[in-house]
A and B are shown apart, each in its own frame.
Chain A
Amino acid sequence: MLPAIYFQIGNAAESDPISEDYFFEELPVVLSATRLSQSLADTPTAMTIIDKEMIRASGSRNIPDLLRLVPGFAVGFYSGSRATATYHGMADQYARDMQVLIDGRSVYDPAFGGVAWADMPIEVDEIARIEVIRGPNAAAYGSNSFSGVVNIITDHPADRPGAMLKTIIGEGNARKIYGRYADSIGDFAYRISANYDEYDGFEEREDSADTRWFNFHGEQTLDNDDTLEFRVGFSRGNYGEGWSDIFQQTRVLNNRYNFQQIAWTHQQSPSNEFRLQFYHNYQQIEDSYRSPILSDAIKGLDDLQGFPEPIRPDIFALGLSGGNYNFQMFLDELKLTDSPLTLSWLGFESDRYDLEFQQTLQTSDNLRLVWGAGARQDRGKSVWIFHQHDAITRDQLRLFANAEWHISPAWVVNAGGMVERFEDKDPFFSPRLAINHHMDQNNTIRASASRAYRMPTLLEDHINLVVFLDEPLNDVNTWVLATGNLDPQSIDSFELGYLGSFPEAGLTLDLKLFHEKIDNVINEFRNFDIPDPDRGLTDPIALATLNNFNDLVQEGADTYINSGEATINGLEVNLDFRPTPRDLIFLGYGYANTYGQEAFLILDGTVQSRSDISNNAASHTFSILGSHRFDSGIQISSAYYYVGEMIWGGEGDLIPTFRRWDVRLGKEFTLPGMDGEIALIGQNFNGGHVDFFNAPSRDLVNQWETRFFLQASLGFR
């Protein structure tokens, strides 16, 4: 009997698509507590999230343009393709007080600070979302997460498999072609992408640029508990730079950038996860330039135009030497040759090596803990900037812990901090404490306090930028010199926030009242006490002549000092309204009352004058983005950006109120085996506004004109 039963059962067992076991089988925990991110309502600081919908609707061709949407942000294009982006102002070409991460990798340049946005091998279409933490967050992200943190998260390769081509052509000789392919082989998902673009930039500037890059992202799922991520990328770009200035001649920078990143995530249990990550960034800018030879440069001086050209060098030498030297004697006595002066503002190489271990623990239902340790080496190399052929390095060690404690369903506490120790610096601690109260399921209020630091960059700590004669290390004039071991500048930030989340209406509203106090501001100023190189001269006439010559090139030198403080009080509004899946309205408004001062001039060892910094940030910023998608697949969207009058630091200028209006018209279509979109993008409809440089006297004004771009993309399924 028994064999018969076996036989019958065996026969009866058809190939069932599902059996009852299917409904009851245990599954591995995929979204364990350690892998979950915080919801907006539980985050300790105000955040702006820019998602794919907003990216597309904005028509932005680059990341800095996207950041215009964020309340409190100002973006300055110092050339047509290169930009700086700052939160709460007080920035120059290199916004050194903001941390930027792409897929968990800090892209902050250790030598100059800031981010070389144009060199990043990333396309806006690959971005899943950008989370902008508006406020310091050094407790989680370390020093330089000072004014804010921009966290760029790209698509997982498995999420958008297939091939895609995108091209842009437009005014200003805009040309772009981008291609990507993503697929999975077993448990290995990958994406390769490549891009070429070129753009002529501002009409009145010689700032044409072309960039090409390649990027690879792979993720190997070993099992439910282990994942390996690999990312590599490189870019090469040529950027027109400079203007009609003997020391900032128009020229082309040759930039190279590459990075490698590997991360291993291991889930020990659903409540215990480890992550180990290593990355390396490399940036190189090839830039040096030479003046005409001395005699020719002298012939071009304005003051000598009244003399016949052949005798101008002698007149010049006689003038500087009190009638003692003609031009040839001037050269001989000062140990000079009739060669060009040569220097570089920007030519350098930098590396960042970073290793981090992190453990996430869900110790109980209400308490989640993240702690970790990291080590980093930053390296900068430039004979032009550091006056030595060897690289300058700086090591950092860090230890951090952050806890998220749900005291009750209505109360959440976020507490944490990071201790960092930099080589040759005192260790410092960046704490943060925040409490969120969910008044009901729609309304949350939060209060938070945090302290963060910004480390001096390698440049600020070690610069020795000298004007050379003909070749490096043949010193003529000290241009910028680091004169002491700088302290980090600090910020204490207090925030009161409200988050209203009304999912039924598709509305999220965030209000933020803040008070920020910045101390020990690292600022650049002219120090007339800094002597220039003496070229080994001993003869008093020769030395006096050399001094006169150097004063003509530049008297004293620029340097950096911790001197200054700033207070910023303000209010920000961030509103995201999507009443239907086809409609989007995003609005950002920031008001900031900035006051404080920094050293402007030092003479005889004392600060002679200070400058007011209240204009270094805009009082008002406003952005609005609206989009509607019709049944026909047509999408119309428009964005308007407003930044009040502000001064850009460094070589930047006072820029009057900035207004920009963009419109985008897109049409999606489907063909057999492919989907695509054609879009017409019009930027700066209200053309004519000035950006970053506004110096007619230097013949240097960045003025945007209305420009149209046609964009086509095709995805192959």
Chain B
Amino acid sequence: MFTDGKLTALRTGNTLPVLGRFCRVLLLLFLAQHFIAGYAYSREVEKKQNVLIIKSGNATVYDKVISAIERYFILYYESHPDICTKVDTTSSIPTNLKPEWSKHSDLIITLGSKAAKFTRNHGVTNKTVHAMIPMLPDKKSNIRDRHFQETDTIYLNQPLERSLRLAKLSTGGGKRIGILVHKNNRPAESILRKSENKLGITITLAEVVNSKELGSKLGKLLESSDVLLALPDANIHNRKTISNILTSTYRKQVPVVGFSAAYVKAGAISAVHSTPDDIARHIVDVSASHLSTKTNLIKGPKYPKYFSVSVNRKVARSLGIKLPSETHLRDQISAGKTP
């Protein structure tokens, strides 16, 4: 996980000033218990990092990501004792933060748009990683200013090509991919045409202006589609519409490729998405690069590095589509292999 070029280089680099810094620590209870035994023994050589995680709300998904971050940090410093021997993480929603919250953190990780905007509005100068940032298909993030463009920002969305590859793998031989798009969130034609050539597919977009015409546009689109690819856009796919989209497509025996595990559970044949674990792993990758150097390294928004594939076997079986295992599909997509 941490053997990519930048970290290998860092291990031999001048990281000591950072690692030697003494930091005041806010310990989570279970972390404190976990490390208390080894504390006295290692205090002389301890190289401790303080990481503050700001989450956008109390949803369980943030806590899942946080606990995975903590696990990956442990793995990280256990395998990189020269860089750091301990990472103390604190997590909070903004409203519970103490006034001096930004002062003692070596790194701030924000989860979700609200937390990201909060740090921006406070003009935080600490090293920061923004994660779990949703983006619309036309690459318009809902945080648009330069601050975020110049910070490590990890989107929640998958790159279009990744979704297209899965869509192609999920058709049972078809090559025609239909996508419903909102008129304000149309992927650029050039990207679509490039993907068509690269993947040997045809993409048909049906532009929807309002939810009223969703049914007719979908009906027409399905006439010329082997698979419906759902891209994250709440104008199109939301709690109210997903039921109709899934039943309409199923009635026409067309599979839907979703963008979340929940979509698959609801009836999509498959989805490529990042689980809390995938997200945490990527966050720790990026965080590690910050912790191990003084200088800022890779900046700018990026797609999730790690992702998972979910498959609804019952739906696939009913549609007569044979799909390999989830890990096999993920590996095929990673390797850029599509039939």
A-to-B contact residues, CB < 8 Å: 1-2, 5-6, 8-9, 11-14, 16-33, 36-42, 128, 156, 158-162, 184, 189, 221, 224, 441, 501-506, 581, 717
B-to-A contact residues, CB < 8 Å: 56-57, 59, 61, 94-95, 97, 99, 111-114, 117-118, 120-122, 132-134, 136, 142, 156, 171-174, 176, 185, 215-216, 219, 224, 226, 232-235, 239, 242-244, 246-248, 250-252, 259-260, 262-263, 265-267, 273, 312, 314-315, 317-322, 339
Contact among A6, A22, A27, A189 with B95 in the assembled complex (CB-CB below 8 Å):
A6
- A23 near B243 (CB under 8 angstroms)? no
User: Can you sample 25 A-B contacts with CB below 8 Å?
Assistant: A12-B121, A17-B235, A18-B134, A19-B113, A19-B134, A20-B133, A22-B260, A23-B232, A24-B61, A26-B262, A26-B265, A27-B239, A27-B242, A27-B266, A30-B247, A31-B247, A31-B250, A31-B314, A36-B317, A39-B320, A156-B251, A159-B252, A161-B219, A162-B216, A503-B173
Given the complex of chains A and B, what is the CA–CA distance between A33 and B339 in angstroms? 29
Asked, given contacts A39-B317, A503-B172, whether A20 binds B250 with beta carbons under 8 Å apart, the answer is no
Report, nearest first, the 10 A-B pairs whose CB atoms are least far apart.
Answer: A31-B267, A503-B173, A39-B320, A441-B322, A12-B117, A36-B318, A503-B172, A504-B173, A27-B266, A30-B246
- B320 near A501 (CB under 8 angstroms)? yes
- A581 near B224 (CB under 8 angstroms)? yes
Given the complex of chains A and B, what is the CA–CA distance between A158 and B224 in angstroms? 18
Chain B residues near A503 (CB, 8 Å)?
171-174, 320-321
- B176 near A581 (CB under 8 angstroms)? yes
Contact among A8, A13, A22 with B234 in the assembled complex (CB-CB below 8 Å):
A22
Interface centre among B232, B266, B321 (most CB of A within 10 A): B266
- B97 near A5 (CB under 8 angstroms)? yes
Least CB distance, A506 to chain B, in whole angstroms: 7
Q: Tally A-B pairs: CB < 8 A.
A: 156
Could you list 5 further interchain pairs (A-B, Cβ under 8 angstroms) beyond the known A20-B112, A30-B267, A503-B171? A18-B134, A20-B134, A30-B266, A158-B248, A505-B173
Chain B residues near A2 (CB, 8 Å)?
95
| Nearest neighbor of A270 in chain B, beta-carbon distance | B265
Least CB distance, A289 to chain B, in whole angstroms: 47
Chain B residues near A162 (CB, 8 Å)?
216
Chain B residues near A224 (CB, 8 Å)?
243
Name A's interface SS.
loop
Least CB distance, A474 to chain B, in whole angstroms: 56
Chain A residues near B246 (CB, 8 Å)?
30-31
Chain A residues near B243 (CB, 8 Å)?
28, 30, 221, 224
Least CB distance, A263 to chain B, in whole angstroms: 15
- B262 near A38 (CB under 8 angstroms)? no
- A24 near B251 (CB under 8 angstroms)? no
- B262 near A27 (CB under 8 angstroms)? yes
Least CB distance, B322 to chain A, in whole angstroms: 4
Chain B residues near A23 (CB, 8 Å)?
134, 156, 232, 259-260, 273
Least CB distance, B55 to chain A, in whole angstroms: 10
Chain A residues near B263 (CB, 8 Å)?
27
- B251 near A128 (CB under 8 angstroms)? yes
Given the complex of chains A and B, what is the CA–CA distance between A538 and B235 in angstroms? 89
Given the complex of chains A and B, what is the CA–CA distance between A451 and B133 in angstroms? 61
Given the complex of chains A and B, what is the CA–CA distance between A41 and B320 in angstroms? 7
- B262 near A24 (CB under 8 angstroms)? yes
- B247 near A5 (CB under 8 angstroms)? no
| Nearest neighbor of A22 in chain B, beta-carbon distance | B234
Given the complex of chains A and B, what is the CA–CA distance between A509 and B248 in angstroms? 27
Chain A residues near B176 (CB, 8 Å)?
581
Least CB distance, A715 to chain B, in whole angstroms: 9
Given the complex of chains A and B, what is the CA–CA distance between A513 and B321 in angstroms? 26
- B267 near A21 (CB under 8 angstroms)? no
Interface centre among A23, A158, A159, A441 (most CB of B within 10 A): A23
- B118 near A5 (CB under 8 angstroms)? yes
Given the complex of chains A and B, what is the CA–CA distance between A11 and B273 in angstroms? 30
- B315 near A9 (CB under 8 angstroms)? no
Least CB distance, A413 to chain B, in whole angstroms: 15
Given the complex of chains A and B, what is the CA–CA distance between A132 and B263 in angstroms? 32
| Nearest neighbor of B96 in chain A, beta-carbon distance | A2
| Nearest neighbor of B135 in chain A, beta-carbon distance | A18
Chain B residues near A717 (CB, 8 Å)?
216
Least CB distance, A364 to chain B, in whole angstroms: 12
- B134 near A22 (CB under 8 angstroms)? yes
